[in-house]
Chain A
Amino acid sequence: MEIKIEGLEAKIGDTPILRGVDLTMKSGEVHALMGPNGSGKSTLSNVVFGHPSYEVTGGRVLVDGEDILEMEPHERARLGLFLAFQYPVEISGVTVGRFLRRAVEIRFEGEKEVRTKGFLKDLREAMDFMEIDQQFINRYLNEGFSGGEKKRMEILQMLMLQPQFSILDETDSGLDIDALSVVARGVNKLRDQDFGALIITHYQRILDHIKPDYVHIMYQGRIVTSGGGELVTELEKSGYEWVREQYGREEEVHE
């Protein structure tokens, strides 16, 4: 799968957030998207998935050559895209088991028989792998979960749905080091030629566990520079001040 974002612009209300994002990613690659708070990283993930609060004002998002911006969120998901939420919402009364069974059914619709047959066994294995207690199968989705449990639940869903490309929106925020390594383990498990990921993060520490092939830095609604792992080291040394000084646009520096 190839995702090609071209000149993407979007706003929420009257506030422009994305001001021309260009980014090309493929299955088999892991990208990291870094940048200071408010640079538009989470907005990018929401816009790629079609969140109704954002209005796209320019550009395209092509998945294998097809523009997905007119598609409903569920149609985008059915292409094999996945979004691990920064703030997963609680769905009262819907158990993790029932919800995931349905999501797996939808994801593998053509091959339903095969994929849903060993569903419960697969789910239990994935839960063990993610160090999630099996009792969560019967709990209501995200209701009363701790921050760390919610994040692990996102990665569990990703393991079960086996997307071709996944966006992880600040999955590392608020996680202690143990939870972080479990989350990273989940991502690394899927890592192969048929799986790609965009890891959105403010900090470099998750990238110690998941080595990115490419690193992009976002600032003021644009990707201002891209490179390899050396960019992470640079950020570690100089912080985001360096980004602001080098790439900040005059008219926006003081906002």
Chain B
Amino acid sequence: MSNEAQTVHIDDYKFGFHYPDGSVFKTRKGLDEEVVKAISSHKQEPDWMLQYRLQALKVFREKQMPNWGGDLSDIDFENIYYYAKPSEGQSRTWDDVPDDIKTTFDRIGIPEAERKYLAGVGAQYDSEMVYHNIQESVAKLGVLFTDPETAVREHPEIVKKYFGTVIPYSDNKFAALNSAAWSGGSFVYIPPGVKVDIPLQAYFRINSENFGQFERTLIIADEGSFVHYVEGCTAPVYTTDSLHSAVVEIIALPGSRVRYTTIQNWSSDVYNLVTKRAMAYENATVEWVDGNIGSKRTMKYPSIWLMGEGAHGEVLSIAFAGKGQEQDTGGKAVHCASNTSSVITSKSISKDGGTSSYRGQIKIEPDLHNVKSHVVCDALLIDEHSISNTYPYMDIQSDDVSMEHEARVSKISEEQLFYLMSRGMDEAEASMTIVNGFLDPLVKQLPMEYAVELNRLIELEMEGSVG
């Protein structure tokens, strides 16, 4: 480790630190059959997965870029590394993790967090899992929590049955890209009736310049089970654009409940284009809690397909758009069965000319009864030149439907600031107090250490916005 790295203090890094690129294996820039084959062979994958990747690659090349949402024309697919492997093999204990990687994790506070809260940590450093540890009690319940590469080798019957069924590679260009180049992520299987009472957590980081991260997560909650999966990201600052394009698939079988919490804080040059979708069968509940801070442009709309009667879906979306940033986020609920309900709540904050857009869709298939959907979008503008947009789409083909949509845009008011300042708070603290208050109803839903982290990240984002 260089001396320079050692003198970086936690207070000035603002997630801008990174360590010399120590990747052991890296493909060349760009994505073609040869690169896909190299990735697959490096992972010692069975042929069926290689064939899947190659099919996806074809679709990726044919598909058009989305012609809605944020401007993606800056992305140069030929100038991206699609695979890098930072260290040899998997490490089971903290001592086995290489020093520079460990230092990075230390700065984010992973081991400490683990000691206190975590059942298992799957931390992704570049493409591969370098640190993976499932607490024994969880493993004893029959829970599988591993990286998808291991799952492909050791549990092919489960992977084959579900992989790509919720989000096929034909879904969109970035789902196809991920399906061709995926690397790392999480694989979770919860056996019937098992309730995992501690959140399963994974931490992701990008640390290789121009390197796109394409992690792939597959969560299967068998009948009557419960799991809370938590994932957070920070990325170091680079001068050229990075691309993060993940795919997350959730299958919630009858009577199960899955809660998926993400707090993402990409550095301001990252394109964050993620496809997240869940299938909720009879009486199953799926909840997405999705916090997006940072990145250059985020397009992310966690979705829930309500496939069986009694299914319930919730999306809580938090977005913070600062200078030069565009958060295009929201949620989708597709009702395919009677007696289903969905709630989408979106809270966005824009400052310094940033743009937050809510984009959401409620779709209700024909001939259904007793379907309920409720959408609430709250936007807070910190200053005059920031922007908030709302794009709600509704496609309702049944009559017996209760559908509500509320949208509010507010600006931090002079009266609120004056009131708080008259009680002794300076202007920065008064603004921060209002912003925290705005997010409070959502922050309350987060696991404690994530609530603390979110507050800290927003404080960093708010710094310098006043006075």
Contacts and interface: CB of A to CB of B under 8 A. Distances in A.
Interface stretch (B173-181, B262-270, B381-389, B424-432): B424-432
A102 B437 CA distance: 14
Contact of A89 (B415, B433, B436, B438): B415
A73 B422 contact: yes
A212 to B, nearest CB: 23
Contacts of A73: 418, 421-422
A51 B414 CA distance: 9
Contacts of A91: 416, 419-420, 433-434, 437
Nearest to A157: B423
Interface string A56-97: 000000000000000011101110001101001101111000
B109 interface: no
Given A93-B439, A94-B433, A107 B424 contact: yes
B174 to A, nearest CB: 34
B419 A89 contact: yes
Contact of A140 (B413, B423, B425, B437): B437
Given A73-B422, A83-B422, A89 B416 contact: yes
B436 A77 contact: no
A99 B429 CA distance: 12
Given A52-B418, A91-B434, A103 B423 contact: yes
Interface string A20-32: 0000000000000
A32 to B, nearest CB: 21
A88 B419 contact: yes
Interface in A101-125: 102-103, 106-107
Contacts of A217: none
A93 B436 contact: yes
Nearest to B439: A93
A107 B437 CA distance: 21
Contacts of A106: 423-425
A159 interface: no
A161 interface: yes
B20 interface: no
A83 B425 CA distance: 14
B437 A92 contact: yes
Contact of B438 (A52, A76, A92, A102): A92
A53 interface: yes
Nearest to B415: A89
Contacts of A89: 413, 415-416, 419
Contacts of B421: 72-74, 77
Point out which of B415, B423, B430, B440 has the most chain A C-beta atoms below 10 A from its C-beta: B423
A49 interface: yes
A77 B437 contact: no
Given A93-B439, A94-B433, A94-B436, A161 B423 contact: yes
Interface residues of B, number: 23
Contacts of B437: 91-94, 140
B424 A93 contact: no
Nearest to A93: B437
B418 A103 contact: no
A53 B422 CA distance: 14
A94 B439 CA distance: 10
Contacts of A77: 421-424
Given A91-B434, A93-B439, A72 B426 contact: yes
Contacts of B423: 74, 77, 99, 103, 106, 157, 161
Nearest to B441: A93
Interface string A155-188: 0010001000000000000000000000000000
Nearest to B440: A93
Contacts of A76: 422
B155 to A, nearest CB: 44
Contacts of A93: 436-441
A157 B440 CA distance: 22
Contacts of B440: 92-94
Contact of A51 (B418, B425, B430, B436): B418
Nearest to B423: A103
A53 B414 contact: yes
A102 B426 contact: no
A161 B422 CA distance: 12
A40 to B, nearest CB: 18
A84 B427 CA distance: 19
Given A72-B427, A92-B437, A93-B436, A85 B414 contact: no
Point out which of B414, B421, B427, B440 has the most chain A C-beta atoms below 10 A from its C-beta: B421
A97 to B, nearest CB: 13
Nearest to A82: B422
Given A89-B413, A93-B439, A74 B419 contact: no
Nearest to B437: A93
Contacts of B424: 74, 77-78, 103, 106-107
Contacts of A140: 437
A78 B429 CA distance: 14
A76 B423 CA distance: 9
Given A52-B418, A89-B415, A74 B426 contact: yes
Nearest to A73: B421
B427 A74 contact: yes
Nearest to B435: A93
A53 B417 CA distance: 12
Interface of A: 49, 51-53, 72-74, 76-78, 82-83, 85, 88-89, 91-94, 99, 102-103, 106-107, 140, 157, 161
28 contacts: A49-B418, A52-B418, A72-B427, A73-B418, A73-B421, A73-B422, A74-B426, A74-B430, A77-B422, A77-B424, A78-B424, A82-B422, A83-B422, A89-B415, A91-B419, A91-B433, A91-B437, A92-B437, A94-B440, A99-B423, A99-B433, A102-B425, A103-B424, A106-B423, A106-B424, A107-B424, A140-B437, A161-B423
Task: Return the 5 tightest CB-CB contacts between A and B, nearest first.
Answer: A93-B437, A93-B440, A106-B424, A73-B421, A94-B437
Given A77-B421, A78-B424, A106-B423, 12 more contacts: A49-B418, A49-B422, A74-B422, A76-B422, A82-B422, A85-B419, A85-B422, A88-B419, A91-B434, A92-B437, A102-B425, A103-B425
